Amino acid sequence: MTDRLVLLGTLLFSTIVGCSAPAPTPMPMTPEIIQVVATPSATPTFVPPTITPTRTATPTPFVTPPALGEAAIVPILMYHHLADLPGNATELERTWTVAPKDFDAQMNLIAQRSFRAITMAQLVAHLRDRQSLPAQPIIISFDDGWAEQYEHAFPILKKHGLIGTFFVYTNPIDRKQFMTWTQLQEMASAGMDIQAHTLTHPHLRTLAPDAAYKEIAESKSILEKRLGKPIVAFSYPFGEYNAGIIDMVKRAGFASAVTLASGYKQRADELFTLHRIRVSYPDSLDDFAKRLP
């Protein structure tokens, strides 16, 4: 009887271990099993043992890709200008600007809440190639390539150990108010994610197809040549796109594109119309926190 129970226990235990652990290495019997085997009065019903993890318990350090048709929870924050505005600033200025001290507080909150900043390439690998991501992924994106982003965002991101994704349009690089190539190269070397936003920031839908394609494809090749890194993501100027523009972005070799549509749920079938969360001047830290997952 005892021998049969030992055999039964061992077989069941092996089966359970075999289901959950990929390594075929035999594991030592846990005290729970010994207890079941050693109690003659126990009913023959086998109680599955609690498999004690060998490492200390920590939260899941990664997220697996979503099931087919499901969305991944990856907020992509969207910033443009980083500056202190005067009291009489226009509504437009207040919409597209965040004060540097507010940005610092927002990045501090992100770091405190254990978000992990990822790159656009990592998001593509997750949604398209079904790779895992670090737990609580977030993308911190900036459009246009303003000098303020190098001056204010770059040091704050570094201070909090975060990566920023900078969608830059290439023609004004090295001009007044915009970042320089030297600054972009420095940021890329420091692990920042630089991505494309056309040559001249046009209304793409109003351009002739050849001109629109040139804006999209050449911004990618110029950035790749100057930075020596693959450019995988595109940001539609003014958030404007249609089926023809999406097709051009795909043909130019991009793997993803971001819009101005609001939300943090990203789907594999929406890799070229990814959602973002706009942060604006009037937002309090509480407003900001409420928009995060």
**103 vs 167, beta carbon nearer Zn ion:** 167
Residue 164: CB minimum distance to Zn ion, A: 15
Residue 80's identity, in one-letter code, is H
Tell me the residue type at 288: F
Residue span 204-233 as binding mask against Zn ion, x where in contact by CB under 5 A, dash where not? ------------------------------
Which range binds Zn ion by CB under 5 A, 106-114, 115-123, 138-146, 175-183?
138-146
From 6-14, 142-150, 203-211, 254-262, span contacting Zn ion (CB under 5 A): 142-150
Q: Please, what is the minimum distance in Å from the beta carbon of residue 132 to Zn ion?
A: 31
The nearest distance, CB 272 to Zn ion, in angstroms, is: 17
In angstroms, what is the minimal distance from the CB of 237 to Zn ion?
A: 5
Minimum CB distance to Zn ion, residue 201 (Å): 6
Q: How crowded is the C-beta side of 180, counted as CA atoms within 13 Å?
A: 5
Closer to Zn ion by Cβ: residue 115 or 236:
236
Q: Which is nearer to Zn ion, 152 or 197 (CB)?
A: 197
**Bridge partner residues of 134 (DSSP):** 62
| Nearer of residues 103 and 115 to Zn ion, judged by Cβ | 103
Binder among 102, 104, 143, 193 for Zn ion (CB under 5 A): 143
Helix (H), strand (E), coil (C) string for the chain: CHHHHHHHHHHHHHHHHHHHCCCCCCCCCCHHHHHHHHCCCCCCCCCCCCCCCCCCCCCCCEECCCCCCCCEECCEEEECEECCCCCCCCHHHHHCEECHHHHHHHHHHHHHCCCEECCHHHHHHHHCCCCCEECCEEEEEEEECEHHHHHHHHHHHHHCCCCEEEEECCCCCCCCCECCHHHHHHHHHCCCEEEECCCCCCCHHHCCHHHHHHHHHHHHHHHHHHHCCCCCEEECHHHCCCHHHHHHHHHCCCCEEEEEEECCEECHHHCCCEEEEECCCCCCHHHHHHCCC
Minimum gap (Å) between residue 102 Cβ and Zn ion = 20
Does residue 120 contact residue 143 with C-beta atoms inside 8 Å? no
How far apart are CB 49 and Zn ion at their closest, in Å? 58
Q: Is 144 in the site for Zn ion (CB under 5 A)?
A: yes
d(CA 194, CA 233): 9
Stretch near Zn ion under the rule CB under 5 A, chosen from 29-37, 118-126, 141-149, 187-195:
141-149
The site for Zn ion, by CB under 5 A, has a size of 2
Nearer to Zn ion among residue 133 and residue 194 (C-beta):
194
Which residue minimizes CB distance to Zn ion? 143
Q: CB atoms < 10 A from the CB of 201, how many?
A: 19
CB closer to Zn ion, 106 vs 141 = 141
- Cβ 143 to Zn ion, closest distance in Å? 4
C-beta of 66 vs 164, nearer to Zn ion: 164
Beta carbon nearer to Zn ion, 72 or 223: 223
* Options 20-28, 140-148, 182-190, 272-280: segment touching Zn ion (CB under 5 A): 140-148
Strands 133-134 and 116-117: unpaired
Residues that bind Zn ion (CB under 5 A): 143-144
